[in-house]
Amino acid sequence: MKTIKLIIADDHELFRNGLKELLKKYKDVNIVALVSNGEALFSQLKKHPNTDIVLLDITMPKMDGFQVLKQLKSLKLAIKPIIISMHDEGNYIAKCAKKGAYSYLLKNTDQEELIKAIRMVSLGKKYFGPKISEKMINYMSEQTISENILSKKEKEVLGLISEGLTTKEIATKLFVSTRTIETHRANVIKKLEVKNTAELIKKASEINLI
C-alpha cells in the first residue's frame, strides 16, 4: 500500500504538532514536514517534490493560505491542498474552492472526517462536507452585494468617508467636484441597501469593505 505523503502548514505550533500526533496512528499517512507559513511550505516542497497533500491553514504570517493556493495553481504542482480553518464563513469557503482547494475542513472536525478527507483527496477526489457546502451556497446569494458591486472609485470614497472626511474634503483630495462625491456616496448607499451614512459604515464594516 502506497503511503500518502503530506505536509502540515499551520502557524499554531500546538495545533501543528497535535495534528501530527493524531495522524501517527494512520499507517497510510506519512508526514514529511511541518511548516508554520507559506514560504516555508514552498521551500519544503522543493525538498519533497512528490508530496501528495498539504493540510493548509488560512491565517498564517508571511504568506497566507490564499496566497499559497494561488501560487500552487500557477505553478501547476501536483500537490493537493486541504484547507483546515476555523472560519466557517461562506466567504472563506468559496474563496478557497475557487482557488483550487480539494477540501475545506473546520478545526472542529473530528478525526474520522479528517482522515476520510485525506484519503479521498489522495485519490484525486474533492471533499466538501454537507455543512461546508451549505455555507457556500448561502454565501453565493449575498456575495453579489459586497465585493463585486462597488467600483474602485466607490470603494475609495467609502474608505475616505469612513475615516471621517466630509464630502467637500474628499472632493478636494480627489480633485473632483463635490457633486461627484455626493453621487458616489448616494450610489454606494443605494447599492448596499442602507438608509444613510451611519448604517452604511456599519454594513461596510460588517462585510469587510473597509
Contact set with a copy of itself (CB under 8 A):
11-15, 17-22, 36, 84, 86, 106-111, 114, 161-164, 166, 194-202, 205-206, 210
Q: Which of 30, 67, 172, 183 binds DNA (CB under 7 A)?
A: 183
Q: Which of 77, 120, 145, 189 binds DNA (CB under 7 A)?
A: 189
For a copy of itself, the closer of residues 70 and 116 by Cβ is 116
In whole angstroms, how close is the CB of 181 to DNA at the nearest point? 8
For DNA, the closer of residues 17 and 166 by Cβ is 166
CA distance 157 to 184: 7
Helix, strand or coil, per DSSP, at residue 19: helix
In whole angstroms, how close is the CB of 171 to DNA at the nearest point? 7
Binding segment (CB under 7 A) for DNA, from list 29-37, 114-122, 131-139, 166-174: 166-174
In whole angstroms, how close is the CB of 119 to a copy of itself at the nearest point? 16
What does DSSP say about strands 103-106 and 53-56: parallel, antiparallel, or unpaired? unpaired
170: alpha, beta or left? (left if phi > 0; alpha if psi -120 to 50): alpha
Q: Round to the nearest angstrom and report the end-to-end CA distance of the chain.
A: 51
Give Cβ neighbours of residue 8 (< 8 Å, ≥ 6 apart): 16, 19, 20, 31, 33, 34, 35, 54, 55
For a copy of itself, the closer of residues 70 and 107 by Cβ is 107
In whole angstroms, how close is the CB of 160 to DNA at the nearest point? 10
Residues written for the chain: 210
